[in-house]
A = this chain, B = another copy of it.
């Protein structure tokens, strides 16, 4: 049995099932067509070339299909590549399902849902609580399945909810250490800060940007949504404005997409908690794939740094 594709190294052979994530036709230098496949399972992705692809191959090996492959891991321009020995579409009798080949949050959807409910229950400010409840109700299903991004961090099924719940964990502890922090405001801000992504990203499976996402972005879209929701709930107190500000400023700087920087204590702390959880998610997953004494691959969203795992780390 194979370990996941995220864990193979150059020279390994591979024999098993993977999901086709992308399939692009090309023409080789000998004039014959080939397919470039992005294949994946729940642990990672790899590129492969299917040389001399027939018309039939082109129709069989398309995105969101599962295939059975045998091959070897090579290196090409510094990246791993699967050299295909044999490949065929998976069949009903193979008993494999798409959902098994998609990366998922390490925490179950139900657990994430319970944690959210619990936190909302702890909130004392009735206005903030009402707004949050209304959004949870409106987006219940999407909120529990969407990724938090199309790549970089929490880019997996239930990634958004996982990110929110991790952030709430940090918020709870920071509130204990700094009791001046308004817990309810911070909780509400965390839960709502990225909900605009439900409209900015196209879906759970193949995650691209919607036109609305490209032209407005999730931040102004969510500011508007809070305004509409408050109108619907007939709420007019200052909490609405402050919540909008938390969402608006959570990227921290104009260059990073927040037209206003944090100007309220909880906005600043929300920005910092967002940074920590995103970075820990990227770092832990990258370091998990290397051994002590080695460096991770370069992490694009962390200034392209390659991190070192000290020799004295337990495996």
Whether a CB of chain B sits under 8 angstroms from the CB of A241 is yes
Whether a CB of chain B sits under 8 angstroms from the CB of A7 is no
Complex CA gap A298/B306 in Å reads 27
Per-residue contact bits, chain A 244-269, to B (CB 8 Å; 1 contact, 0 not): 11001000001111111111110011
The 8 Å CB contact of A125, one of B25, B181, B228, B312, is B312
Whether a CB of chain B sits under 8 angstroms from the CB of A107 is no
**Residues of B contacting A49 in the complex (Cβ-Cβ under 8 angstroms):** 29
Most buried by B among A81, A228, A239, A264: A264
B260 touches A217 (CB 8 A): yes
B260 touches A259 (CB 8 A): no
Whether a CB of chain B sits under 8 angstroms from the CB of A60 is no
The 8 Å CB contact of A29, one of B30, B127, B173, is B30
Complex CA gap A182/B231 in Å reads 33
A29 touches B27 (CB 8 A): no
B311 touches A238 (CB 8 A): yes
The bracket for how many chain A residues form the interface is 35 or more
Complex CA gap A176/B260 in Å reads 33
Whether a CB of chain B sits under 8 angstroms from the CB of A214 is yes
- B-binding residues in A (CB < 8 A): 24-31, 34, 49, 51, 74-76, 81, 83, 125, 127, 166, 169-170, 173-174, 176-178, 180-182, 185, 211-212, 214-217, 219-220, 223-224, 227-228, 231, 237-239, 241-242, 244-245, 248, 254-265, 268-269, 272, 275-276, 279-280, 283-284, 287-288, 302-303, 305-313
A-B complex: 8 closest residue pairs judged by Cβ atoms: A173-B173, A215-B245, A224-B224, A224-B227, A27-B74, A257-B259, A238-B311, A180-B284
